[in-house]
Amino acid sequence: MPDIELYQPTDEENALALANTLGRDGWLLAGGQDTYGWLKDRNKSPAAMIELTQIDAWKGIKEISDGIEIGAVTTLTEITNNPLVQSRYGLLATAAGKVASPQIRNVGTLGGNLVQDTRCWYYRRGLDCYRAGGNICYADSPEGLNREHAIFGASRCVAVSPSDTAPALVALDATMVVAREGGQRLIPAQDFFVGPARDIINMTVLNPGEILTAVRIPNTWANAEFYFEKVADRNVWDFALVSIAAAIKVSGGTIEDARIVCGAVECVPRRLNAVENAVRGQQRSEQLAEQVASIATEGARTLNYNNFKVPLMQNLVKRAIRG
């Protein structure tokens, strides 16, 4: 292991002060499921780590005036098993329960799952790709192995966001609470993630010295009809090939409103605005599901080995619309 200083603050003030002082030299450590892989492979060598798991203010699930707030250091298992999340926001409970394996969910945190770096193996192996500061994308090349990579939003980099909970939170119209020394900012989940056209190095809007401390989910979509499905090579310990998270309000068989988001098809969770517009005000039916499926993949650009993502994504959209 590299020689790293370890800080273990027990309150929010000290954690934010450390993050501000250390800046890019300070690695934020929550569950550590992503961190230790980087260190083991020796592809990251931070000067210091700031462990966040002892800060009680950033743990747990509580009701607020307009919904619930989940601390960023809350484990995925806690979220999956929480009665409040299960009863009102089952979409998130299901998504959190699909992450990796029970052992990882027991220590992995919501914040860690949201801000983890991409899993592109070229980047993870320490090659000098665009995301690592180089001038090539190894995955988007004639010989590239790109079965898991993006079919939308490529701009030099074709890596995808690996988070299972991110599409669910975008579908639930969540808000990210991001703190820094001296203040905080509230960011819609949809704007929290960024693509390579905006930032080729980072996958979120977090700046040095900032920490994701909580996620707020409004009552707007509480008790809606939810659909979540993750397609992966294995049922556990694997990342999505394509996933879908949908929150749909239905009255008398008519879809009044919908938010539908796909994961693992773009560097960010992909909101299917065109599909939402097409189903809004329509009678829920098999015919409607067939009609809108192709809309979901308009503009897709497949790579050598991920053409299968187009029909897979269309079929997931059909299943979400059917309910």
Residue 191's domain is classified under what CATH number?
3.30.465.10
Indicate whether 270 and 133 sit together in one domain.
no
CATH number at residue 46: 3.30.43.10
- SS3 letters across the chain: CCCCEEECCCCHHHHHHHHHHHHHHEEEECCCCCHHHHHHCCCCCCCEEEECCCCHHHCCEEEECCEEEEECCCEHHHHHHCHHHHHHCHHHHHHHCCCCCHHHHHHCEHHHHHHCCCCCHHHHCCCCCHHHCCCCCCCCCCCCCCCCCCCCCCECECCCCCCCHHHHHHHCCCEEEEEECCEEEEEEHHHHECCCCCCCCCCECCCCCCEEEEEEEEHHHCCCEEEEEEECCCCCCCCCCEEEEEEEEEECCEEEEEEEEEECCCCCCEECHHHHHHHCCCECCHHHHHHHHHHHHCCCCCCCCCCCHHHHHHHHHHHHHHC
Q: What is the pTM assigned to this prediction?
A: 0.97
Confidence bin at 36 (pLDDT 50/70/90): confident
pLDDT of residue 304: 96
Indicate whether 69 and 26 sit together in one domain.
no
Q: What is the pLDDT of residues 218-246, one digit of tens each?
A: 999 999 999 999 999 998 989 999 999 99
Confidence bin at 281 (pLDDT 50/70/90): very high
Indicate whether 69 and 186 sit together in one domain.
yes
Indicate whether 124 and 261 sit together in one domain.
no
**Taking 90 as the threshold, does the pLDDT of residue 175 lie above it?**
yes
**Taking 80 as the threshold, does the pLDDT of residue 168 lie above it?**
yes
Indicate whether 197 and 226 sit together in one domain.
no
Q: How many domains, the chain? A: 3
Structural domain containing residue 20: 1-53
